[in-house]
């Protein structure tokens, strides 16, 4: 193998391995006005950055200092009739007075389902920061 072929393969491998670390879209900054549960993490009210990793199979959440606080699997993508959503929003399910993040909608992209429940619940919608 010549030097240019080795360099090309090395670059390709770097891109493939690094793809899961990059966001598919820019992270969405959102203020959550209440404590909530995300996967196995219990998070307090505050400002968070929500981003779908490039593989579109995981949601990464960072706190206001950009520290990763949770990475959870995406159950499915929630498309809006072939159009990207104009405004970001978070959807929480309230079950027995506990709030769970269930959907993440990122401006310019689709929504992503991260938790589903068959229990009786109510939805709470959190709009983007203005």
User: What residues have CB less than 8 Å from 83, skipping those under 6 apart?
Assistant: none
Of 101, 123, 120, whose CA–CA distance to 112 is shortest? Answer: 101
Report yes or no on 101 lying in a domain.
yes
**Is residue 15 in some structural domain?**
no
For the entire predicted model, the pTM comes to: 0.76
Distance between CA 80 and CA 112 in Å, rounded? 11
Residue 9 lies in a domain: no
Helix or strand or coil: residue 14? helix
- CA–CA gap between residue 88 and residue 117 (Å, rounded): 22
Average pLDDT over residues 2-10: 45
Q: Note whether residue 91 is domain-resident.
A: yes
Give the pLDDT score at 85. 65
- The neighbouring-strand residues paired with 104 are 90, 112
Residue 34 included in any domain: yes
44-101 pLDDT, tens digit per residue, is 999 999 998 887 799 999 999 999 999 999 999 887 656 666 788 999 999 999 999 9
Within a domain: 11: no
Whether 16 is in a domain gets the answer: no
* Domains held by the chain: number: 1
- Containing domain of residue 83, as a range? 21-126
6: buried, middle or exposed (CB in 10 Å: 19+, 13-18, 0-12)?
A: exposed
For 97-108, write each residue's pLDDT tens digit: 999 999 999 887
Say whether pLDDT at 43 is over 90.
yes
| pLDDT for the residue numbered 42 | 95
Q: Which residues pair with 71 in a beta bridge?
A: 60
In this prediction, residue 118 carries a pLDDT of 87
Q: Would the pLDDT of 32 be above 80?
A: yes
Q: Which residue has the higher pLDDT, 16 or 37?
A: 37
- Domain for residue 117, yes or no? yes
**Bridge partners, residue 38, by sequence:** 41
């Amino acid at each position: 193998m010549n030097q240019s072929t080795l360099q090309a393969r090395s670059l390709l491998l770097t891109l493939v391995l690094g793809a899961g670390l990059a966001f598919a879209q820019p992270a969405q900054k959102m203020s959550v006005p209440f404590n909530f549960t995300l996967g196995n993490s219990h998070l307090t009210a505050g400002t968070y950055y929500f981003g779908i990793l490039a593989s579109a199979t995981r949601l990464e959440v960072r706190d206001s200092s950009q520290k990763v606080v949770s990475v959870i699997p995406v159950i499915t993508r929630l498309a809006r009739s072939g159009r990207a959503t104009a405004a970001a929003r978070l959807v929480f399910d309230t079950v027995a007075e506990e709030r769970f993040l269930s959907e993440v909608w990122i401006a310019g992209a689709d929504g992503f389902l991260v938790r589903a429940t068959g229990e009786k619940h109510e939805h709470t919608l959190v709009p983007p920061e203005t």
